[in-house]
Amino acid sequence: MSLAPRVAVVIPCRDDAEFLEACLVALAAQDRPADRVIVIDNGSTDASAAVARAHGAEVFVEDVVGIWPTAARGYDEAVLDCDIIARVDADSRPHPDWISRIVRAFVADPALGALTGSAEFYGAGPVVRYLGAKWYIGGMYFWVTPWLGHPPVFGSNFAMRSALWVRVRDEVDRANAAIHDDLDLSIHLRRADGVRYDPTLRMPVSARPFATHGALWRRVGRVIPTFAASWPVGAAWRRERPTLERQDTRGENRAEVLDEGDEWAPGFGR
């Protein structure tokens, strides 16, 4: 990687124009601007695409409804000419030094393959913000890290080398709209990929996952199906043996459309 790596920020979006505008304003205020800002519009019926274009973002359309198909399309676009793929959600509001901290980390450590951080929840009271950061996100890292053997990536706040996405993009269950995209990506990473969790790399994100008990439990309820979707290929002992021949047990057609009224984005940050 050069001393001035190219960075693309990928934002999956579906009917989130108001949040997206605040996110793009925050990205425009970065002390180290992104080389590309890529918004993947997932069939929005509001002004999301128009907002993205008004702020100078590149807009691509993904027709398969779901966060994983949408995010994967963004990574595919970013990998064409960028060294680092950074990811936020439409309701993320990155601090002004977010990109520069990511770039410094990757330049300083050639072995670093993915960098992920924590969350600061806005739009709720202090108790909800505390529980969200300490129990929801903190719990994810506490419980999932020992199982994976490395930290999971947090979909609203992480970055990876383009080469890492090239390695895993045909292994992840990217067409499956009913699982956590960030967890599925994490399952297919290995210790040797150099995944690092930096708790000081904080990302302000909306507290709307905690707006109702149903919304929260739908997200929690997708954890087991996400692990099941990659079994046994995604098992830790299989991932740590890169020379082992892998068999795709997921079937030929895993594209799914979420039920009407279900949450669009199953990622941890939504």
CB 106 within 8 A of CB 6: no
CA dist 143 and 188 (Å) reads: 17
Domains and CATH numbers, the chain: 7-239 (3.90.550.10)
Q: What is the pLDDT of residue 216?
A: 52
pLDDT tens readout for residues 109-120 = 999 999 999 999
Q: Scanning the structure block, which residue is given the tokens 């990687």?
A: 1
Q: In what order do the strands lie in the sheet with 58-61?
A: 58-61, 36-41, 7-13, 84-87, 158-161, 114-122, 195-206
More confident residue, 247 or 19: 19
At residue 38, the 3 state secondary structure works out as strand
HSE at residue 6, side-chain half, CA atoms within 13 A, is 12
pLDDT tens readout for residues 64-100 = 999 999 999 999 999 999 999 999 999 999 999 999 9
Asked if pLDDT for residue 138 goes beyond 90, the answer is: no
What is the model's pTM?
0.82
